[in-house]
Amino acid sequence: MDTKELLKKVRKIEIKTRRLSDHIFGGEYHSTFKGRGMTFSEVRQYQFGDDVRSIDWNVTARYNEPYVKVFEEERELTMMLMVDVSGSEFFGTKNQFKNEIVTEISATLAFSALQNNDKVGVILFSDEVELFIPPKKGKTHVLRIIRELLEFKPNSNKTDVAEALKYLTNVMKKKAIVFVLSDFIASDYEKTLKITGNKHDVTGIRVYDEREEEIPNLGVVQMMDAETGALQLVNTQSRKVRNSYTDFYRERVNYFKETFTKSGCGVLDCRVDESYVKKLLGYFKRRG
Q: Report yes or no: 163 and 128 within 8 Å, Cβ to Cβ.
A: yes
Alpha-carbon distance of 193 to 215, in angstroms, equals 30
Q: Per-residue pLDDT for the chain (288 aa), expressed as one digit of tens each? A: 667 777 787 888 888 787 777 766 666 776 677 655 555 667 889 888 888 888 999 999 989 999 988 765 455 789 999 999 997 766 655 667 888 999 999 999 999 888 888 899 999 999 999 999 999 999 999 999 999 999 999 999 899 999 999 999 999 988 899 999 999 988 999 999 999 999 999 999 999 988 888 888 888 877 767 667 778 888 778 888 888 888 889 999 999 999 999 999 999 999 998 888 889 888 888 886
In 81-90, which positions are buried (b, 16+ CB within 10 angstroms) versus exposed (e)?
bbbbbbbbbe
Alpha-carbon distance of 273 to 207, in angstroms, equals 10
Alpha-carbon distance of 145 to 143, in angstroms, equals 5
Write down the architecture of domain 3-33+76-214+263-287 according to CATH: 3-Layer(aba) Sandwich (3.40)
Structure confidence at residue 227 (pLDDT): 67
Structure confidence at residue 197 (pLDDT): 96
- Going by C-alpha positions, the residue among 81, 185, 169 that lies closest to residue 127 is 185
Q: Report yes or no: 46 and 68 within 8 Å, Cβ to Cβ.
A: yes
CA angle at 256 for the pair 155 and 237, rounded to the nearest 5°:
80
Alpha helices, H only, the chain:
3-20, 26-32, 57-63, 98-115, 139-151, 161-171, 190-199, 239-262, 276-287
- Dihedral over Cα of 8, 207, 175, 165: its sign: negative
- Dihedral over Cα of 103, 105, 107, 113: its sign: negative
Whats the size of the chain, residue-wise? 288
Structure confidence at residue 73 (pLDDT): 47
Domain-by-domain residue ranges, the chain? 3-33+76-214+263-287, 37-74
Q: Report yes or no: 88 and 183 within 8 Å, Cβ to Cβ.
A: yes
Structure confidence at residue 88 (pLDDT): 73
Residue 25: DSSP 8-state = I
Q: What is the pLDDT of residues 10-30, one digit of tens each?
A: 888 888 787 777 766 666 776
Structure confidence at residue 119 (pLDDT): 93
Structure confidence at residue 243 (pLDDT): 86
Beta strand 177-182 pairing with 78-84: parallel
Alpha-carbon distance of 198 to 30, in angstroms, equals 22
Which residues, in sequence order, are CB contacts of 130 under 8 Å at separation 6+? 85, 124, 152, 154, 155, 156
Alpha-carbon distance of 201 to 118, in angstroms, equals 15
The pTM is what?
0.80
